[in-house]
Amino acid sequence: MKVAVGSDHRGFDAKQLIMAIVSQMGHECVDVGTNNMTPVDYPDLAYVAAKSVSEKQVDRAILICATGLGMSIAANKVRGVRAALCHDELSAHIARDHNDTNVLCLSGDQTGEVLLRKIVETWMSTEFSGGRHQRRVNKIIAIEEGRDPREITNG
């Protein structure tokens, strides 16, 4: 799997660790920046990573900023992206299993190294279960397309 990894300056240290984890899992990393601790605007990096997912240049992306909130908001503005801010293994599992997320957002300030590894490994190794969840993902896609999700009745 090909994974874009990006952060702002507050997530830079965590990004380095995440790239190592993803590589250790046997996946290819695409570093979309930032490459140092010089302050940058998180929407710029979120856009680059999310666009690479949307355009299928990569399979998934992982984004890190101070809280993960800004990255999540910005990434979700790109058509075709389902980004989730995850704080633990359960949220990472559900984000993939139920919501078929393609972008993981993390807090660089609030997530320690051990938990960070667990979240990334869980999110990367969990597949979308489909079934009843497919209908719900289809409703999310309908909203993104400007349609009423209540019109979607089947998977």
**Domain locations along the chain:** 2-128
What pLDDT sits at residue 155?
65
User: What pTM value is reported for the model?
Assistant: 0.97
Q: What is the length of the chain?
A: 155
Domain 2-128 has CATH 3.40.50.720: no
Q: Cite the active site residues.
A: 65, 98
Distance, in Å, from the CA atom of 130 to the CA atom of 88, rounded to the nearest integer, reads: 22
pLDDT confidence of residue 153: 86
Mean pLDDT for back-to-back runs of 10 residues, the chain (155 residues): 98 98 98 97 98 98 98 98 98 98 98 97 98 95 96 83
- Quote the strand ranges of the chain, DSSP E: 2-7, 28-31, 60-65, 83-85, 103-107
